[in-house]
Amino acid sequence: MARAYSEDLRRRVVGAVESGMSRRAAARKFDVSVSFAIKLLLRWQRAGTLKPVRIGGTRAYVLAPHGELVRSLVAAKPDMTIDELRARLADEGIRVGRSSIGRFLIAQGLSFKKNRSRQRARSARRGAQARAMEAVPEPA
């Protein structure tokens, strides 16, 4: 896994640019990417720090602040598709991608399963209807 550049190298790149060298020239001189030099200088100008941003970890879900709304929409219409849910959220002023909705629903323990044994669904003429959104049991 990649590691952050040392603070010493960061100081030298910023010092070179502040002494009149271009960001691209400083990147060549210190054998770092142009993108790193540009982003480092932006961070230095905006935040006044050279410390690296934390690498890795988990991020909060975009829909986390709207969890109650999402759960109520799913409870109102359990067989709603992700596209329908996305449209309902857009009506509420929440714009989010399909994959974000899917990841959030999985994290909340909601998933569309045709039946509990995860077998193929039977034909509608032969028996039980497909189940709607239901809680997925946590793995042991």
User: 102-121, pLDDT tens digit by residue?
Assistant: 999 999 888 766 555 555 55
36 and 83 inside one domain: no
> 96: closest CA among 72, 66, 63?
63
User: 24-48, pLDDT tens digit by residue?
Assistant: 999 999 999 999 999 999 999 999 9
In a domain, 54, yes or no: no
In a domain, 99, yes or no: yes
More confident residue, 73 or 57: 73
In a domain, 101, yes or no: yes
95 and 41 inside one domain: no
Helical packing angle, 34-47 and 7-18, nearest 10°: 80
The domain of 90 spans 64-135
69 and 131 inside one domain: yes
Total domain count for the chain?
A: 2
Q: Mean pLDDT, the chain, as a whole number?
A: 84
Confirm whether pTM is higher than 0.85.
no
43 and 75 inside one domain: no
